[in-house]
Chain A
Amino acid sequence: MTTGKVLYEVKNVSKNYGSVQALTGVSLKLHAGEVIGLVGDNGAGKSTLVKVLSGAHQPSEGVVELDGEERRWDSPHDALVAGVETLYQDSGLAPHLSVSSNVFLGREKFSKGLLGKLGFLAQKDMDRIAHENLEKVGIAVPQSNRSVSQLSGGQRQAVAIGRAVSWASKVIILDEPTNHLGARQAGEVLAVIQQAKKRGLGVIFISHTLPHVLQVTDRIVVLRLGKIVADAPTSTFDAESLLGTITGLIEK
């Protein structure tokens, strides 16, 4: 199922917001070509773990290791450069910007020569490449110079996921990417996840929709009140036992 090598690892991570203890002693291994489902009730700490993994927050305790090397992300930028892409819950897109401007946000292509050195943008190239890259990961969007605010919720989510998948070189973290999506669109998202896995990326998939989790993941990690209460192959769960583990009715 997995191709062996540990890609991304969290060792004994805790995180508190003031007096709120959001994560306690969380350890997790993600392998190349593996899809992990991260599940848990609201407030269990999933988004907090995502922010630690993506460099948006520093852990209060513990370390993260990428390719066996301890890393300290001072900002999301550090993690992006290292190949860790994240799709945050609640919009990682700038709605007023175009699709391609969003795809290239923070990684703009510049004009040739002096103008490029002065920060002038090669917008046509970006429009074209954004379109190609999104198509490559299986996402058909309208013209990439359309503003994101003109897209439907599903299309926006597709663009956000497409951006993350096309830039990721190692790890991709998706925080509730199928939220607010219809069945068909959610199916497309799951297909994109499968594709990322085939490319050898490590994927962390967070969702409340348990059938999706059971369908697309290799392993499931259950968080409850900031602690990992289960970490086992997906084949050992069914819908009922998974729900029981999340709510605490079943101790694993």
Chain B
Amino acid sequence: MSSPVVAPSRIKSLFGNQQFILLLVLFAMVAFFTWRNPVFFSNAVFGNILADWSPVVLIAVGEFFVIVSGGIDLSVGSTIAISGVVSAFSMRALTANHVGQNMTLFLGLLTCVGIGILVGSINALLITKARIVPFIATLTTMGAGAGMAIVLTGGSQIGDGPAKAISLSVPDFGPLSRPGIVIVFIVAILWVIMGKNRFGRYTYAIGSNSFAARAAGINVNRHLAKVYILSSVLAGLAGFYYYLLLSVGAPTSGQGGELQAIAAVVIGGTALAGGTGKLSGTVLGALILTTVTSGLIMINVAANWKQVVVAILIAVAVLIQEFRSTGGTGSGPIRRLLTRNSK
């Protein structure tokens, strides 16, 4: 079994390893930004990057489960907004009624989770019962959520919540804040579940061949419902995170979050066609995204260039996927996506 491996093939397999490439890209970026602006290489900047990364990795990991299952969730960004806003309203009311700060924060967190469960259940019903394709179903909830967040707040931010919220998001674990630590912990658990648990196995199986999954006795609809609810709950948690960060519920929080999440998943090497992908890639994809954003600001590049850089990263990631999975057989994911009949 353990035959000696010759060096060239070891290097080749290393470069065939998406995680390795992503780490290289990340180090190259850090080196580049540090070269252009030495201040970049500091605890403060890394702290900022991780503060940006924390909510993005939450929704990206949720999106990862959805995409692996063969779907897409466009509603994660607006779920951040609506959960943050509703929870801000409830925390403002609790604070006005002199409820203790810890209790208020806890109830605010539950509100965010509850909104997540609600949005995820609506997505699940639209997709599994009404049989609406995920793209349209979650586009609907995306529009409804974002619209409601604006209507409820009249476009303004909702503050007057517990005063200690802001103190929670200072980095006191190296560059990470306490909520950041919790998020790392959540992501680690989901990573284990995806790789070692039946929940992950079924997610891959359904995305790979939903007919085979159903034929094997898996309740595909019930599993998909769980996946969409998971995605929305993680978005709700991201909504709470933004509340802690800003001390207000803002209807604009999470704007464009769905694109960030999808970009992180794709950059992380996961095929949009489903059935495959590594969660660790998505985690790195999210880190690369937030590093680019901070880095470009640090070297005084106009913010709009960020979109261009992200687009290039996505294109490169897809090309690498195409190249790796083709391996000379001429059946890469792009071609498969184009020639695919129904699932």
Measured CB to CB, the residues of A under 8 A from B are 54, 56, 75-77, 80-81, 86, 88, 91-97, 101-102, 105-108, 110, 118-121, 123
- Chain B residues, CB < 8 A from A110: 198
Docked pose: A108 CA to B218 CA in angstroms = 11
A76 and B213 form a contact (CB under 8 A): no
Cβ B205 vs Cβ A94 within 8 A: yes
Chain B residues lying within 8 Å of A81, measured Cβ to Cβ, are 217
Q: Are A93 and B209 in contact (CB under 8 A)?
A: yes
> CB of B307 within 8 A of chain A?
no
Is the Cβ of A77 less than 8 Å from the Cβ of B217?
Answer: yes
B40 within 8 A of A: no
Contact B217 A107 (CB under 8 A): yes
Whether, in the assembled complex, B338 has its beta carbon less than 8 Å from a beta carbon of chain A, the answer is no
Task: Judge whether B212 and A91 touch: CB under 8 Å.
Answer: yes
A75 lies within 8 A of B219 (CB): yes
Q: Tally A-B pairs: CB < 8 A.
A: 77
Q: In the complex the two chains form, what is the Cα distance from A102 to B216 in whole Å? A: 9
A121 B215 Cβ-Cβ under 8 A? no
Q: How far is the CA of A81 from the CA of B218 in the complex (A)?
A: 12
Closest CB of chain B to A128's CB: distance in Å? Answer: 14
Chain B residue at minimal CB-CB distance from A108 = B198
7 CB contacts below 8 A, A to B, read A77-B217, A77-B218, A80-B216, A96-B207, A97-B204, A105-B216, A123-B196
Contacts of B275 in A (CB 8 A): 94-96
B residues 159-212 touching A (CB-CB < 8 Å): 196-199, 201, 204-205, 207-209, 211-212
Establish whether residues B217 and A94, one from each chain, have CB atoms under 8 Å apart when the complex forms: no
Please name 11 further chain A to chain B contacts, defined as beta carbons within 8 Å, in addition to the given A94-B205, A105-B205, A105-B216, sorted by A numbering.
A56-B215, A76-B215, A76-B217, A77-B217, A91-B211, A93-B212, A97-B208, A101-B205, A102-B212, A120-B197, A121-B198
Interface centre among A106, A108, A120 (most CB of B within 10 A): A106
Q: Which of B85-104 contact A (CB under 8 A)?
A: none
Query: Of A56, A77, A92, A95, which is within 8 A of B219 by CB?
Result: A77
CB distance from A158 to the nearest CB of B (A): 16
> Closest CB of chain A to B77's CB: distance in Å?
28
B294 within 8 A of A: no
B335 at the interface (CB under 8 A from A): no
Q: Contact check: which of B201, B209, B276 meets A108 at CB < 8 Å?
A: B201
Contact residues in B for A101 (Cβ distance below 8 Å):
201, 205
| CA–CA, A139 and B239, complex, Å | 52
Distance A120 CA – B192 CA, assembled complex (angstroms):
9
How near does chain B come to A155, taking the closest CB pair, in angstroms?
15
Task: Point out the residues of chain A lying under 8 angstroms from B204, CB to CB.
Answer: 94, 96-97
Residues of B within 8 A of A121 (CB): 196-198, 201
Hey, which chain B residues are within 8 Å of A119, CB to CB? 197-199
A87 to B217, CA, bound (A): 13
Q: Does B36 contact A (CB under 8 A)?
A: no
Q: In whole angstroms, what is the CA distance A91 to B209 when docked?
A: 9
* Alpha-carbon separation in the docked complex, A75 to B211 (Å): 12
Q: Tell me the smallest distance from the CB of A127 to a CB of chain B, in Å.
A: 13
